[in-house]
């Protein structure tokens, strides 16, 4: 038996509330029986569920979505008139409107949550950059620092280090921007030729230079030089990509 729009529409309007577990319990068996036979309503339900699941995932951890939801449902319940319906169920106009309002609220919340998240990650990135620059300045200002030129085919830079210390500041100009799948990796060269990782960095878009603080496991006097290569995002245990900068100590 095919479903016509006439007896299909009432179920459509129950879907937003059903997706939020806010449907009247007595309406659930009727809707679920219809869902079993109607792929269109199942598809629509899937979309509503995606919105409500996405909202819960996207919200910052401090927000209490279940409490907000409970309050919304409670307010709705208090404004609802008791229905003494018999026979074929019809959807009161306010309930039809509620479906749209609910979806609009969900979308608005989702948009706000995404905005908050983007601002949070921007702030974290700026804080990270500020800390890196402050550490680099501290290394530069430390007495007895040595300044070495970093040379490469396209890029150039400066390395400031104190041979007795384990921290150095690297400044590089002219490094190509990288796609998200790649990173620059610093290598400390041991006398036996082995390379130890000196950390990862990537230029920020629109920045003419990049600064990176190298934290070495041992004093720099125990290494013979330094190199920078392009590696897959997350770094490599040993250099695999092209060398773009380097120097001898």
Residues that bind Zn ion (CB under 5 A): 8, 38, 41
The residue (of 34 and 195) whose beta carbon lies closer to Zn ion is 34
CB of 38 to Zn ion, least distance (A): 3
CB of 11 to Zn ion, least distance (A): 5
CB of 8 to Zn ion, least distance (A): 4
CB of 56 to Zn ion, least distance (A): 26
The residue (of 21 and 40) whose beta carbon lies closer to Zn ion is 40
What is the Cα Rg of the chain in Å?
30
The residue (of 38 and 116) whose beta carbon lies closer to Zn ion is 38
The residue (of 8 and 202) whose beta carbon lies closer to Zn ion is 8
């Amino acid at each position: 038996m095919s479903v016509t729009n006439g007896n299909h529409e009432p179920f459509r309007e129950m879907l937003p509330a059903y997706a939020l577990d806010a449907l009247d319990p007595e309406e659930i068996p009727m809707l679920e029986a219809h869902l079993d036979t109607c792929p269109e309503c199942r598809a629509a339900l899937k979309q509503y569920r995606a919105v409500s699941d996405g909202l819960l995932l996207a919200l910052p951890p401090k927000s209490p979505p279940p409490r907000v939801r409970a309050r919304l449902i409670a307010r709705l319940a208090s404004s609802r008139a008791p229905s003494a319906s018999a026979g074929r169920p019809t959807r009161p106009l306010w309930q039809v409107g509620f479906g749209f309002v609910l979806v609009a609220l969900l979308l608005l919340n989702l948009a706000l949550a995404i905005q908050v998240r983007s601002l949070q990650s921007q702030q974290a990135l700026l804080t990270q950059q500020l800390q890196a620059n402050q550490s680099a300045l501290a290394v530069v200002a430390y007495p007895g620092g040595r300044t070495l030129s970093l040379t490469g085919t396209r890029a150039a830079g400066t390395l400031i280090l104190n041979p007795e210390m384990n921290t150095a500041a690297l400044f590089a100009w002219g490094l190509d921007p990288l796609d998200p799948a790649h990173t620059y990796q610093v290598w400390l060269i041991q006398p036996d030729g082995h390379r130890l990782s000196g950390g990862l960095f990537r230029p920020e878009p629109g920045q003419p230079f990049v600064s990176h603080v190298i934290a070495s496991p041992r004093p720099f006097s125990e290494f013979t030089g330094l190199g920078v290569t392009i590696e897959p995002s997350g770094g490599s245990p040993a250099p695999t990509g092209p060398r773009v900068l380097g120097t001898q100590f």
